[in-house]
Structure 1
Amino acid sequence: MSGNSHKLKLGKISHNDGKLQQVRIVPSYGRYVIEVVFKCEQEKEIKRSEKQLNEWIFEPKRVMGIDLGVDNLATIIDNMGLKPLLIKGKWLKSINQYYNKLRAEYMSILRNGKGPKEGKFNTTRLISLDRKRNNRVMDFLHKASAKVVEIAKERTIDTIIIGKNEGWKMEVEMQKTSKQAFIQISYATFIGMIRYKAERHGIQVIVREESYTSKSSFLNHDPIPTYGGENQTYFSGYRSSRAFYKIKGSKILIHADVNGALNIVRKHTKDVFKGLERKQFLQSPRKIIIMKKRKAKLKATA
């Protein structure tokens, strides 16, 4: 081993950052990433074991429900009757679509005329493309999860309930491109970001099964069965378009994702919407754009 030593400056560490736990060097997409890990403890912080991950720490009172999707990454409702919110996910969808297109082009050139066991399957260009896409997705999810927690704090929420389907809605009816985008969005990563950011501030995060929450009518108190059950259930409405859920035999429309988010909370709590008027559930949601949609620049040089 050479006697030469090299120093890498990481910048100043503030006492506000917490207690330094470790510095680790992790290989990532053909490069090495230095991760500096701090231990930060706050007075209200919720601490859980793995077994307690989705158990109630306390009885929920001021509740936020989140329905995850593609065009609307997170649809947010609460039980105070405040205006629903939509965190738009089209920027993320655009990044994924452009990444898929470029990767297919590069792979076509790389594998042209080669047998299944011949030649290379990866290049510096492909590694660079993967890295850029991953960095942009992680940046977006960090900003979006921080926004969710900011909203929760502004509304003095004590509990966030996030709906999750096993297989991430592989069986839902949607166009092939939309399903591909849905699968490629790392919802587990997004949920994890929301959890650790929220529970640092004493807001408990519960992830629960969300099957049939988009088919049931919240306004009509339809039963919400569990996925895989054999019981046949009658639903009072249906999704009449991408945006709206319609009550059968009436002119009432409710935003479809808002209806789903309300049902996620209703499915796992009791009486938290008591005292609210029907018109409060029919409010038009407000859009929140984390990043403006623009042509993605992911091209990687060889």
Structure 2
Amino acid sequence: LMIDHGVDNWLTCVSNVGTSFIVDGRHLKSLNQGYNKRVAFLMKGKANEFWSKRLACLTEKRNRQMRDAVNKAARKVINHSLKNRIGTIVFGWNKGQKKSANMGNTTNQKFVQIPTGRLKDRIAQLCEQYGLKFVETEESYSSKASFVDNDSLPTFGEKPEGWLPTGKRVKRGLYRTAQGWLINADCNGCGNIGRKVAIMLGLDLSGIGRGALSAPLRLKLWS
């Protein structure tokens, strides 16, 4: 099972047994935005070090919601793996990416405050508990290269001169391959994350079909 993380699509997961799903992160993002707006309102006109019982309660509630979201998302990943007899989970992760995030103040706030690092660690803990193999790999250029067309996948900082992908992200969430297929952009990234470690782990990715790349099932956190 290959995992690509984001914000609206918190986790996009594609397996080599032909399954795919997305753990929806929009509700979590909305909760975080509501918390930030409420804190900004209560802090308006106050000194930077100002704190109150109301702010403490709001923060505790938000932290509990985040912990619950982490546990629920991790459980969905593990349950899917056990149900489909998947023994290895590959998580795409670039170390230090939150510290160096430069996507604008608004997007940075959404990206940095969502506890994806804690979710990754929780999935790793559950993998150990259930006897699954957890692998973390860098994900550079996985969203740009075309999985279907087997584009080369350079490591960050080692991109060959003149390297260009054969496919293209035509709009938000949609990727067009060299053959003209329209597939989910995050699912394409998942496939490439799997390719980065396929030889090392001896993974067979031939089971990833067009259906898994085009129509992933969307799962809500609180449902």
Q: TM-score, normalised by structure 2?
A: 0.89
Q: Does structure 1 residue 78 correspond to structure 2 residue 8?
A: no
> Which residue type is aligned with residue 186 of structure 2?
D
Q: 1:246 aligns with which of 168, 176, 185?
A: 176
Aligned twin of 1:214: 143
Distance 1:197 1:68 in 2: 18
1:174-193 aligned within 5 A = 176-193=105-122
Aligned twin of 2:35: 99
* Matched residue SS, 1:200: helix
* Matched residue SS, 1:110: coil
Q: Does structure 1 residue 127 correspond to structure 2 residue 56?
A: yes
Please tell me whether Structure 1 or Structure 2 has the larger radius of gyration of its CA atoms. Answer: 1
Aligned twin of 2:164: 234
Distance 1:240 1:173 in 2: 22
Aligned twin of 2:81: 152
Gaps of 5+ in 1: 1-63, 293-302
Post-superposition shift, 1:226? 1.1
Post-superposition shift, 1:123? 1.8
Post-superposition shift, 1:177? 3.0
Q: Is the 8 A contact 2:88 2:135 kept in 1?
A: yes
Gaps of 5+ in 2: none
* Matched residue SS, 2:12: strand
Distance 2:17 2:112 in 1: 32
Q: Is the 8 A contact 2:143 2:189 kept in 1?
A: yes
Q: Does structure 1 residue 290 correspond to structure 2 residue 221?
A: yes
Q: Is the 8 A contact 1:168 1:183 kept in 2?
A: no
Post-superposition shift, 1:266? 0.6
CA 1:290–1:208: 2 relative to 1, 3 Å: same
* Matched residue SS, 1:150: helix
* Matched residue SS, 1:212: coil
Post-superposition shift, 1:166? 2.8
Distance 2:114 2:208 in 1: 35
Distance 2:194 2:131 in 1: 19
CA 1:127–1:169: 2 relative to 1, 3 Å: closer
CA 1:259–1:92: 2 relative to 1, 3 Å: same
Aligned twin of 2:204: 273
Aligned twin of 2:96: 167
Distance 1:148 1:198 in 2: 10
Whose helix proportion is higher, 1 or 2? 2
Distance 2:100 2:181 in 1: 28
C-alpha RMSD of the superposition: 2.2
- State the Cα deviation string for residues 249-301 of structure 1 (Å, max 9, x = none): x4311100000011111111126335447535544111111226xxxxxxxxx
Q: Which has the higher contact order (CA 8 A, sep 6+)?
A: 2
- State the Cα deviation string for residues 44-98 of structure 1 (Å, max 9, x = none): xxxxxxxxxxxxxxxxxxxx1000111111111111123x101101111001111
Q: TM-score, normalised by structure 1?
A: 0.67
Post-superposition shift, 1:167? 3.2
Percent identity reads 35
What count of residue pairs does the alignment treat as equivalent? 220
Aligned twin of 1:89: 25
